[in-house]
């Protein structure tokens, strides 16, 4: 703090004398907030006093005018910078042909890097800090239940300027994430080049799958395949080679060589490669370490949240770390899991294997072969353009009126993803949300359609929570777990869109069993992600190799504690395969939150209209999770509804069969 305590006290007393004792609390809060962030480069103590005298707005009308001015200007600023960000990342995110080396440099450029520092240097930040209080998470949860919408919007304006992080630090952070994103986006395995028992041809020509999403989804799709188990075991071997960094670097994203994952030998034109095949050499973990080092640079400028762990939970999720971990443990310890495992084992007719954490046979219509689903998708959505053109029809099938479906579709742009797929919302009304999904050369298949439905849920939420929200600083949802919830809801209706609805009474029971098993898997990954970041902060000087060893040990420990008692085998490392562990900075807990919130919303909507209820919920905007849940559903986030529903479902299924 660059302002002496005596100057702070003098400034407060002068303002109280000018405006009256009724404003003392506001003045005290505002002056202290501004003084705490004022640096010598911002001016002298006398400059600080003069600034406060000139820019404290006691008059309610003046304060409203200043507030509205910030809303208008910030929407223009952030909205246009976001459009630049989207364009600079286009080649990294959108499959528009071969990337140039310069494309990664563009992706590393962060147009937002200087915004925060410029707000302080122009003193605009100090206007906000002087006039609008910063509330703690506990205060927002306690007081926010009765706040007017404007009070929430003012609190969110102040939240935008809690920290003062230098632009070079912001830029370094962005570059680390962009490099990791580029690494993950190009991590493809050419499946038609794999050898099993000395033979290729196990997969169709040209099939290449991204790690980990494409590999995982292929395991899911192979359950009905007569040769599925052999292929699943091979993919599982590939995943372990990736995790342990034993995978030969030459086979990554390369269609010109063949690879036997079991022996780890590489072939060219059917002949063994005579030169030693070099492994990837810990590149995977070096990217994670680079992100950690970039976040550590940020730590010094966020004293209230001095680690990415704190920022993720207290600022991004606005949920205590202990609260989220308790939800994770509730899922992992659910007694119903052993009954689900027995049901899956009986349906498979064999002992469970580690990759059965991705078993999808509990899902309604899971008996449908992937090839049949591909045909149905090709008939309905032969191309990405067809999916774009049919967005109004899809949304009407989900319950939206023709007018609302047309409005939403007008704000959503569909594009081919270079990676697995994602949604990129806008930050300015009138702009578009962008839906990206991976499309093979042959056209849309079921995997791409299923991902597209997930991303459609994201983009519809993004449009609603920006275009239809009353105050700009309230746009969005409480945290990414909530947008994941709507994405999961849309994804769960993919077969409905294809006209493959179940008619039998057991549909919900199968769905509840499936959702519980899915939550079990992602809860384990979330706990691994959290423990990896704790380990990195405890060992800040560790090498990439040290990090690899720790990651594998953490994955084994979580498996042995929670998964071995359910599946029956120990010392598996597969929970660490998620690519977002590497490139997203402890994002995975949001998936688990998304599953739980989606289930609560799904249960709430059983006798209600999805379209109107989703619109109502999204218009609530970015309240804290607890306040949002109370307004939306009248309950807190909990694993209990899912666990209880799955327990009832197992009993019902046993009774029927």
Is residue 252 within 8 A of residue 188, CB to CB? The reply is yes
Average pLDDT over the chain, rounded to whole? 94
Q: What's the rounded Cα separation, in Å, for the pair 132 and 155?
A: 7
Q: Are residues 466 and 520 in the same domain?
A: no
Q: Is residue 315 part of a domain?
A: yes
Residues 6 or more apart whose CB falls under 8 angstroms from that of 429 comprise: 75, 79, 466, 467
pLDDT at 480: 87
Question: Which of 571, 579, 539 has the alpha carbon at shortest distance from 555?
Answer: 571
Q: Which stretch of 343-347, 397-401, 489-493 has the lowest confidence by average pLDDT?
A: 489-493
Q: Are residues 596 and 514 in the same domain?
A: yes
Q: Is residue 487 part of a domain?
A: no
10 Å CB burial of residue 398 (0-12, 13-18, 19+) is buried
Q: What's the rounded Cα separation, in Å, for the pair 657 and 262?
A: 39
Q: Is residue 198 very low, low, confident or very high in pLDDT (cuts 50, 70, 90)? A: confident
pLDDT at 502: 58
Q: Is residue 549 part of a domain?
A: yes
pLDDT at 657 over 70: no
Q: Is residue 516 very low, low, confident or very high in pLDDT (cuts 50, 70, 90)? A: very high
CA 287 to mean position of chain CA atoms: 18
Higher pLDDT: 87 or 197? It is 87
Q: Are residues 259 and 298 in the same domain?
A: no
Cα dihedral value 177, 183, 186, 188, nearest 10: -130
Q: What percent of the chain has pLDDT over 70?
A: 98
Average pLDDT over residues 314-327: 96
Question: Which of 202, 184, 286, 277 has the alpha carbon at shortest distance from 551?
Answer: 286
Q: Are residues 197 and 128 in the same domain?
A: no
Angle 625-632/480-491 helices, nearest 10 degrees?
40
Average pLDDT over residues 127-133: 98
Q: Is residue 505 very low, low, confident or very high in pLDDT (cuts 50, 70, 90)? A: low
Q: Are residues 122 and 28 in the same domain?
A: yes
| Token pair listed for 334 | 């659910």
Overall residue count recorded for the chain in this entry: 657
pLDDT at 84 over 60: yes
Q: Is residue 375 part of a domain?
A: yes
Q: Are residues 266 and 307 in the same domain?
A: no
| Token pair listed for 172 | 């370094």
10 Å CB burial of residue 192 (0-12, 13-18, 19+) is middle
Q: Are residues 133 and 118 in the same domain?
A: yes
pLDDT at 276: 60
Q: Where are the beta strands (DSSP E) in 168-257?
A: 188-190, 208-210
Q: Which stretch of 227-231, 240-244, 339-343, 600-604 has the lowest confidence by average pLDDT?
A: 600-604
Question: C-alpha distances in angstroms, 558 versus 63, 72, 533, 574?
Answer: 52, 48, 14, 10
Q: Which of 6-10, 225-229, 438-442, 501-505 has the highest mean pLDDT?
A: 6-10
Span between the terminal Cα atoms of the chain, in Å: 70
φ/ψ of 270, rounded to 5, equals 85, -5
Q: Are residues 262 and 297 in the same domain?
A: no
Q: What is the DSSP string of 89-158?
A: THHHHB--SSPPHHHHHHHH--TTTTHHHHHHHTTHHHHHHHHS----HHHHHHHGGG--HHHHHHHHHH
pLDDT at 370: 81
What's the domain count of the chain?
4
Q: Which stretch of 293-307, 315-329, 357-371, 633-647 has the lowest confidence by average pLDDT?
A: 357-371
- Among 97, 128, 162, the domain-final residue is 162
Q: What's the rounded Cα separation, in Å, for the pair 54 and 62?
A: 12
Residues 6 or more apart whose CB falls under 8 angstroms from that of 102 comprise: none
pLDDT at 331 over 90: yes
Is residue 516 within 8 A of residue 336, CB to CB? The reply is yes
Q: Is residue 285 very low, low, confident or very high in pLDDT (cuts 50, 70, 90)? A: very high
Q: Is residue 656 very low, low, confident or very high in pLDDT (cuts 50, 70, 90)? A: confident
Q: Are residues 136 and 199 in the same domain?
A: no
Q: Is residue 503 very low, low, confident or very high in pLDDT (cuts 50, 70, 90)? A: low
Is residue 588 within 8 A of residue 475, CB to CB? The reply is no
Q: Which of 197-206, 337-346, 507-516 has the highest mean pLDDT?
A: 337-346
pLDDT at 197: 82
Is residue 469 within 8 A of residue 623, CB to CB? The reply is no
Q: What's the rounded Cα separation, in Å, for the pair 53 and 30?
A: 12
Average pLDDT over residues 335-358: 97
- Among 471, 492, 513, the domain-final residue is 471
φ/ψ of 31, rounded to 5, equals -65, -45
Structure-token match 């102040």, residue found: 158
Q: Are residues 147 and 51 in the same domain?
A: yes
pLDDT at 507 over 90: no
pLDDT at 274 over 70: no
| Token pair listed for 478 | 């409480």
Q: Are residues 89 and 236 in the same domain?
A: no
Average pLDDT over residues 212-222: 94
pTM: 0.88
Q: What is the DSSP string of 396-432?
A: HHTT--HHHHHHHHHTEEEEEBSSSEEEE--SSTTS-
| Token pair listed for 637 | 């986030």
Q: Is residue 359 part of a domain?
A: no
Give the tens place of pLDDT for each residue, 471-484.
Answer: 999 999 998 888 98
pLDDT at 406 over 70: yes
**H/E run at residue 447:** helix 446-467
Q: Are residues 255 and 378 in the same domain?
A: no
Structure-token match 């994002």, residue found: 587
Question: Which of 560, 565, 587, 590 has the alpha carbon at shortest distance from 575?
Answer: 560
pLDDT at 281 over 90: no
Average pLDDT over residues 592-596: 94
Give the tens place of pLDDT for each residue, 519-573.
Answer: 999 999 999 999 999 999 999 999 999 999 999 999 999 999 999 999 999 999 9
10 Å CB burial of residue 204 (0-12, 13-18, 19+) is exposed
Q: Is residue 627 part of a domain?
A: yes
Q: Is residue 343 part of a domain?
A: no
Q: Is residue 353 part of a domain?
A: no
Q: Is residue 187 very low, low, confident or very high in pLDDT (cuts 50, 70, 90)? A: very high
**By residue range, what is the domain housing residue 385?**
369-471
């Amino acid at each position: 703090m660059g302002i002496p305590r005596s100057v702070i006290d003098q400034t407060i007393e002068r303002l109280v004398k000018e405006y009256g004792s009724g404003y003392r609390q506001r003045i005290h809060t505002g002056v202290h907030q501004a003084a705490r962030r004022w640096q010598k480069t911002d001016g002298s103590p006398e400059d600080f006093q003069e600034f406060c005298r000139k820019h404290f707005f006691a008059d309610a009308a003046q304060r409203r005018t200043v507030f509205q001015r910030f809303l208008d200007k910030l929407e223009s600023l952030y909205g246009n910078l976001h459009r630049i960000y989207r364009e600079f990342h286009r080649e990294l995110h959108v499959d528009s042909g071969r990337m140039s080396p310069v494309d990664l440099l563009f992706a590393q450029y962060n147009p937002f890097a200087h915004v925060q520092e410029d707000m302080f240097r122009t003193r605009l930040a100090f206007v906000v800090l002087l006039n609008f209080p910063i509330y703690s998470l506990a205060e927002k949860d306690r007081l926010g239940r009765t706040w007017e919408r404007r009070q929430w919007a003012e609190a969110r304006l102040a939240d935008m300027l809690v920290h003062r992080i230098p632009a070079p630090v912001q830029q370094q952070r962005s570059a680390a994430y962009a490099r990791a994103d580029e690494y993950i986006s190009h991590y493809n395995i050419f499946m038609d080049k794999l050898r099993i028992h000395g033979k290729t041809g196990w997969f169709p020509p040209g099939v290449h799958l991204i790690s980990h999403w494409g590999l995982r989804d292929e395991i899911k799709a192979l359950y009905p395949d007569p040769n599925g188990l052999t292929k699943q075991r091979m993919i599982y071997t590939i995943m372990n080679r990736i995790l342990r960094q034993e995978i030969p670097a030459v086979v990554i994203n390369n269609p010109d060589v063949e690879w036997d994952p079991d022996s780890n030998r590489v072939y060219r034109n059917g002949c063994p490669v005579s030169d030693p095949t070099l492994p990837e050499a810990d590149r995977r973990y070096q990217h994670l370490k680079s992100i950690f080092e970039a976040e550590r640079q940020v730590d010094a400028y966020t004293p209230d949240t001095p680690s990415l762990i704190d920022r993720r939970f207290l600022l991004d999720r606005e949920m205590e770390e202990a609260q989220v971990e308790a939800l994770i443990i509730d899922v992992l310890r659910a007694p119903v899991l052993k009954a689900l495992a027995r049901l899956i084992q009986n349906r498979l007719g064999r002992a469970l294997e580690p990759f059965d954490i991705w078993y999808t046979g509990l899902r309604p219509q899971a008996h449908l072969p992937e090839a049949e689903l591909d045909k149905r998708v090709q008939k309905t959505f032969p191309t990405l353009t067809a999916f774009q053109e049919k967005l109004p029809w899809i949304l009407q099938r989900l319950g939206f009126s023709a007018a609302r479906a047309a409005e939403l579709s007008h704000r959503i742009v569909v594009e081919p993803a270079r990676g697995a797929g994602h949604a990129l919302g806008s930050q300015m009304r009138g702009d578009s949300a962008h839906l990206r999904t991976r499309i093979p050369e042959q056209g849309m298949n079921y995997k791409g359609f299923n991902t597209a439905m997930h991303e459609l849920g994201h983009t519809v939420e993004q449009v609603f929570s920006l275009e239809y929200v009353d105050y700009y600083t309230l746009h969005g949802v409480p945290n990414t777990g909530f947008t994941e919830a709507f994405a999961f809801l849309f994804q769960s209706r993919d077969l409905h869109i294809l006209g493959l609805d179940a008619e039998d009474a057991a549909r919900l029971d199968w769905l509840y069993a499936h959702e519980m098993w899915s939550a079990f898997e992602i809860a384990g990954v979330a706990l691994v992600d959290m423990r990896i970041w704790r380990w990195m902060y405890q060992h800040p000087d560790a090498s990439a190799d040290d990090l690899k060893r720790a990651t594998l040990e953490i994955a084994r420990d979580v498996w042995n504690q929670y998964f071995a008692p359910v599946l029956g085998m120990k010392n598996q490392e597969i929970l660490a395969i998620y690519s977002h562990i590497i490139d997203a900075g402890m994002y995975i807990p949001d998936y688990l939150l998304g599953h739980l919130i989606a289930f609560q919303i799904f249960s709430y909507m059983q006798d209600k209209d999805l379209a109107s209820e989703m619109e109502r919920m999204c218009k609530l905007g970015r309240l804290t999770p607890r306040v949002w849940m109370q307004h939306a559903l009248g309950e807190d986030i909990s694993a209990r509804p899912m666990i209880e529903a799955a327990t009832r479902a197992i009993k019902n299924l046993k009774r029927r069969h």
